Every structure is written in C-alpha cells, then in structure tokens.
Amino acid sequence: MEKSLNWREFIITRLIQTSGYSAIVFVALIFFFLLREGIPTLGEVKLSNLLSARWYPIENYFGILPLITGSLVVTIGAMLIAFPLGIGTAVYISEIAPRWMREILKPLVELLGGLPSVVLGFLGILLVSPFLRVFLDLPTGLTAFTGSLLLGGIAVPTIVSVAEDALDAVPRSYREGAWALGATRWQTIWRVTLPAAKSGVLTAVMLGVGRAIGETMTVMMVTGNAPVLAIKLGSWFSPVRTMTATIAAEMGEVANGSVHYHTLFFIGMVLFLISLGVNIAASSVVFRAKKRAERILS
C-alpha cells in the first residue's frame, strides 16, 4: 500500500513536471519548424529579390518589403486608435466608473476580446468599408485605414485589461496622499496614478502592438490585398497587403516545398521573431518594474 502510493506520487509528479516544461518545448518546436521550412528561401531567392518592392510570386518576384510596410501601416494606424481608447477606457474603469458600471464594462470589453476576428472582418466588408468609401469618397473602401479601424477594436481589449491591472496595482495610499495634498481626482490620475503604473501601461501598449501585427483574418478581409509599397501618407487610404494576410491567402495554393512555400514560411519566421521581440520586451519591462517595487518597499 505504502509502496504503491509512493510510486503513484512519483509518476504523477514527473508527469506534472513534464507538462510544466511543455511551453518551452512548444516555443522551440514552433521556431524549429519555421526555420526548417523558411531558411531554404535564403538559398533559393536572391537577397536583392527578397528585399525588393515587388511581390509577384507567379513570376518569381519575392520582395517582402510591401508586405512589411503593409503590416506597419495598418498596425501604426490601429495603435493610433487603440492607444488613446484603450488607456482612456482603462482609466475610466479603474479610476472613475462607479462600481456597478465597472461590473458591466469589464465583461463587455472581455467579450470584444473574444469576438472571432472573422466576424469583425465580415462586418468590415458589409458595413465599415462601404461607409468609408462613400464618406471619404474613395475608389474602394477596402483600405489600410479600414484595417486599422477594425484592428484597433481588436487591440483595445488587450490594452484595457493589462493597463487596468497596472492601475489597480497602484497602492491606494498614493492616491490618498495626493488627495490629502489638495489635488483633484483628475490631477491625481495624471500626475500620480498613471506615472506610477507607467511600466504596466507600456506593457499594455506593446502587447497591443503584438496583437495587432499578428491579426490575420480581419486584415485579410478588409485591407484590399494589394501588395504595393506603402510609404506615402496616402497609402493609408489605399489597399495594402500585410504579412499575415499574405501567408493566409497564398499558403493554400502553393506546392509543398516550392520556393513560394519556403518564402511564406520565411515571412512566418519574421512574424514569429517580431512577436518574440515584442513579448520579451514587454515582459522584461514588467520584471524590471517588479524589482523596482520590491526595492522601494523593502
């Protein structure tokens, strides 16, 4: 009896431990398979071709610059929308809203985070893009701006929840101190609470960027899918094509192991590295902030 109990305990502990390590294994596996299928591109496509401004795989033009600028333009636009709205909503929920309002808003924002991106893309095609075409008098409503608008909506819940956690974590005594000195609640928010939550807010924004740059279905459906270099201000109101949309749109039609196939994996690798960079930067901000807080408190 004793013996079998020990054995079971041992096996279960090992199983749990192995599961604990699984996250590392998966990240490594993902990176390995992207490398395995993506790296051959560097041998098959000349670097001058790969870094050119022409993406036309049928005639062996594999310039990824239009795709990168497409992703950038859409993401920057999305952040211009999502940053103020996200931080504003987080401040409202955590600092201003009465309790009952908070109980309504928090699940609603969570709900937005859970809305399938394909549903947003669907509404983008049917409602947002026709509206923008007429309202802004454009030749087509499927533009980078349309993508930014919807992508902003997708990035907002991420920003709100992380920023709100950060604001919540600011000790109440900070606020009380400011009020006692005669500051209004508004002054307290801007000069005390937000600065104290700065690192959390920064993390929120970075995770929002990560969410926006990686979004696929919505941008594929509403940005018009035109792989042209987007470097002028007007590009925002013309069709573009992002890295994610390119992979999603073309992977279904390529032959396994072809140059095109490898190049799409190469783009996936670039996306993976971008998200890795963004997330490591975001989490190191949090770690540093935690350490500083510990130092101050001890």
Residues 183-242 that bind another protein (CB under 8 A): 184-187, 207, 210-211, 213-217, 221
Q: Please report, as residue ranges, which positions from 114 to 153 form the binding site for another protein (by CB under 8 A).
A: 114-123, 125-127, 153
- Cα(213)–Cα(209) distance, rounded to whole angstroms? 6
Among 124, 88, 72, residue whose Cα is nearest residue 229: 72
Nearer to another protein, 22 or 60 (CB): 22
- Cα(298)–Cα(291) distance, rounded to whole angstroms? 11
Percentages (nearest 5) of helix, strand, coil residues in the chain: 80, 0, 15
Nearer to another protein, 80 or 280 (CB): 280
279 binds another protein (CB under 8 A): yes
* Binding residue (CB under 8 A) for another protein from 50, 226, 276, 293: 276
DSSP assignment of 39-78: THHHHHS-HHHHTSS-EEGGGTEE--HHHHHHHHHHHHHH
* Binding residue (CB under 8 A) for another protein from 45, 68, 93, 205: 93
Nearer to another protein, 5 or 297 (CB): 5
Stretch that binds another protein, among 45-53, 100-108, 161-169, 228-236 (CB under 8 A): 100-108
Q: Are 138 and 132 within 8 A, CB to CB?
A: yes
Stretch that binds another protein, among 40-48, 93-101, 162-170, 191-199 (CB under 8 A): 93-101
**Amino acid in position 215:** E
Nearer to another protein, 54 or 102 (CB): 102
